[in-house]
């Protein structure tokens, strides 16, 4: 294990949480977008909420081999494995004056809940701050270790 292992772990978590914050901010920005992409029928589809999934960075063959040889402890950080779209149905809003309204006057709105997105954003921000604190603690320990030799 390297002396920089904890810094690398915190760095990977910072990168993953930053991506999560970017995806959440994209969801909030598109919470009213009724024309995001064209579906298979050639018609416009509203924006679909996106979600980030994380996984252990040590999921490679090399990491498993090192763990089998007792050279790794299995904690190698985190990474964003995939960004998926939420398949919940779109919200239907009555607005007959909207250009995308159907014959009954309803408009398919994105499946983004701004309240849920704000909670997600706050959670990602807190995780980001916690990883910065861990990174600073590791940096402080390394600086104190360097002072031992004086």
Determine if the pTM surpasses 0.75: yes
- Find all residues with CB under 8 Å of 91, minimum gap 6, and list them: 108, 109, 110, 111
pLDDT tens digits along 9-66: 899 999 999 999 999 999 999 999 999 888 888 888 999 999 999 988 765 666 666 6
Residue 107 has pLDDT above 60, yes or no: yes
Q: How much is the pLDDT for 133?
A: 96
- Find all residues with CB under 8 Å of 47, minimum gap 6, and list them: 27, 30, 31, 33, 34, 36, 110, 112
In a 13 Å sphere around the CA of 48, the CA atoms on its Cβ side amount to: 14
**Dihedral sign from CA coordinates of 30, 33, 37, 40:** positive
User: Where do the structural domains in the chain lie, given as residue ranges?
Assistant: 5-31+50-85+112-147
- Give the residue with greater pLDDT, 2 vs 105: 105
């Amino acid at each position: 294990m390297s002396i920089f292992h904890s810094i690398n772990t915190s760095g990977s978590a910072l990168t993953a949480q930053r991506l999560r914050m970017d995806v959440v901010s994209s969801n909030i920005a598109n919470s009213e977008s009724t024309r995001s992409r064209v579906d298979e029928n050639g018609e416009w589809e509203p924006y679909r909420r996106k979600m980030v999934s994380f996984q252990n960075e040590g999921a490679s063959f090399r990491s498993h081999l090192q763990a089998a040889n007792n050279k790794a402890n299995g904690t190698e950080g985190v990474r964003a494995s995939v960004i998926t779209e939420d398949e919940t149905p779109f919200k239907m809003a009555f607005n007959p004056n909207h250009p995308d309204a159907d014959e009954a006057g309803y408009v398919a709105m994105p499946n983004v809940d701004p309240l849920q997105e704000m909670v997600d954003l706050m959670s990602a921000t807190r995780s980001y701050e916690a990883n910065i604190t861990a990174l600073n603690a590791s940096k402080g320990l390394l600086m104190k270790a360097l002072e031992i030799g004086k």
